[in-house]
Amino acid sequence: MIAAITKIRQDEQAEMQRYVDSVECLMHFLSNSLDDPNAAKCGQCANCVGRPLVAVNYDKTLAMKAVHFLRRSFQELEPRKSWPAHNPLPAYGFSGKITDDLRASEGRALCLWRDAGWGEQVAHDKYETKRFDDSLVDACASMIEQWSPEPYPTWVACVPSLNNPTIVPDFAERLAAKLGVPFVHCVQKIRSTPPQKEMRNSFKQASNLDGAFQISHQKMPTGACLLVDDIVDSKWTFTIIAALLRQRGCEAVFPMALALSSPRMD
């Protein structure tokens, strides 16, 4: 079954490439591909009229304005207000409403995953260079300045990973330096977990993280914390770590991610 589906997808990709390379009427090509018995030339596509339908040259100043606009499409991260039903977090003992003394504050994500602003840069750096570029540090610092959370964070922590233990701490440390505040490596991951995107619902997402994180016994700075991660999926990681930090006396926790995996999350 998997091999058959793979073959279908490969054939579809090959057909799309033939469409891109075709010199015949594009509508005629599509009609034939869909077995239309009345396939005919349209007389309106680029191949029919013999020239591009969209200007090849463009106003570079206008293009830069468009890039600037897309790179300021910051995403709000609303804090979760309650823990899932049926007690998925017995190790932490979290259940019911998330009380004010444990709740994260509203956060921000720099972009949507692979969007036309910063999204492709984030994806490239995460999987290709394995280090987030300094331009993303500057962009996040600018976002935080515009956001201006209150109380303003006086220190930075990050979400740890056992699979890739350096990429997020490296970014968080450079961002902290840019903001002129200390980076504190106080959040620890003590067991491996599958990716949150593989969990089917909110209960599974929260349960997947039960007992996975702890706060080290080192003394934390006073004031609010900026909690940094690269990608935010379900928000349960931010929610749980924020609660653990608040339990240890942190004044406020502001989640900040480089990218939001989807604009709609349960």
pLDDT at 81 over 60: yes
pLDDT at 266 over 50: no
Mean pLDDT of 68-76: 83
Higher pLDDT, 210 or 52: 210
74-260: in CATH 3.40.50: yes
Torsion of CA 105, 109, 112, 118, to 10 degrees: 170
pLDDT at 8 over 90: no
Q: With bands split at pLDDT 50, 70 and 90, how would you rate the model's confidence at 9?
A: confident
- Closest by CA position to 229, among listed 180, 182, 189, 181: 189
- Closest by CA position to 264, among listed 76, 110, 118: 76
| Rounded-to-integer distance, Cα 109 and Cα 154, Å | 19
pLDDT at 163 over 60: yes
Structure confidence at residue 73 (pLDDT): 83
Q: With bands split at pLDDT 50, 70 and 90, how would you rate the model's confidence at 69?
A: confident
Proportion of the chain above pLDDT 70, given as a percent: 97
What is the DSSP track for the chain?
-HHHHHHHHHHHHHHHHHHHH--S-HHHHHHHHTT-TT----S-SHHHHTS-SS-S---HHHHHHHHHHHTT--EEEPPP-BPPTT-S-TTTT--SB--TTTPPPPEEEEEETT-TTTHHHHHHIIIIISS--HHHHHHHHHHHHHH--SSPPSEEEE---SSSTTHHHHHHHHHHHHHTS-B---EEE-S----GGG--SHHHHHHHTTT-EEE-SSPPPSS-EEEEEEEESSSHHHHHHHHHHHHTT-S-EEEEEEEES-S---
Query: Chain-wide mean pLDDT for the chain?
Result: 93
pTM of the full structure: 0.78
* Number of neighbours of residue 249 by Cβ within 10 angstroms: 9
Which residues does 239 contact at the CB level (< 8 Å), separation at least 6? 79, 80, 98, 104
233-254 tens-digit pLDDT:
999 999 999 999 999 999 999 9
Q: Are strands 107-112 and 75-77 parallel, antiparallel or unpaired?
A: antiparallel
Q: Please count the residues of the chain.
A: 266
Least confident of 57-66, 175-184, 199-208: 57-66
Intervals of CATH 3.40.50 along the chain: 74-260
pLDDT at 1 over 70: no
Higher pLDDT, 2 or 187: 187
Specify the amino acid at residue 233. D
| Rounded-to-integer distance, Cα 262 and Cα 232, Å | 9
Higher pLDDT, 59 or 210: 210
Structure confidence at residue 91 (pLDDT): 97
Assigned token pair, 220: 């934390």
Mean pLDDT of 248-266: 86
Structure confidence at residue 263 (pLDDT): 60
Residue 80 C-beta-side C-alpha neighbours within 13 Å: 24
Mean pLDDT of 159-182: 97
Assigned token pair, 163: 């699979």
181-231 tens-digit pLDDT:
999 999 999 999 998 888 889 999 999 999 999 999 888 899 999 999 999
Which residues does 23 contact at the CB level (< 8 Å), separation at least 6? 47
Strand partners, 226: 156, 254
Mean pLDDT of 8-18: 91
